[in-house]
Amino acid sequence: MRHHPHLHLNHIRLLNRIRRPLWPGLLNLVDEHTSAVDMSWLCRMIRDTLAIAGRNEQVLAGIHSREALQAQHDRLVERFNRANSRNSEEKRQTAGNCSANPTYNNSSSFGWSTLNANYMMFGEESHRPPYSCSE
């Protein structure tokens, strides 16, 4: 903190809410004009980005602005959706062999188990993976 040029109470508030991860650009995400709503959005974006990245803190290493955080989050969501779409297409192709009572596939398509675990860690409602054929 001592190297940041314009310290404000919001920096302490941010560090109090986000204990990990810490990276060099974190303090650049807030300033004296950051509202409580902005702070909540920021904390949520950091948690979501980490959840989608499987808790890989390196995805935040180059983030120095809220815009960069939003862009990184969007890239990870796009990658997650592409991978999930491919898995869903494969499941649709085998759907003709499904029983009348489908079960959840816990063997995990891209990132589902990690994403569910992270949502559970943050006290969020868990999202179940899509149905798949039981074998």
Query: What are the pLDDT digits (tens) for 44-81?
Result: 999 999 999 999 999 999 999 999 999 999 999 999 99
For 11-20, the CB contacts below 8 A with 24+ separation are 13/39, 14/39, 14/42, 14/43, 17/43, 18/43, 18/46, 20/57
Q: Are 131 and 101 in contact (CB under 8 A)?
A: no
Flag whether pLDDT at 134 surpasses 50: no
Q: What is the pLDDT of residues 86-133, one digit of tens each?
A: 888 777 777 765 555 555 444 444 444 555 444 444 444 434 334 333
d(CA 116, CA 3): 37
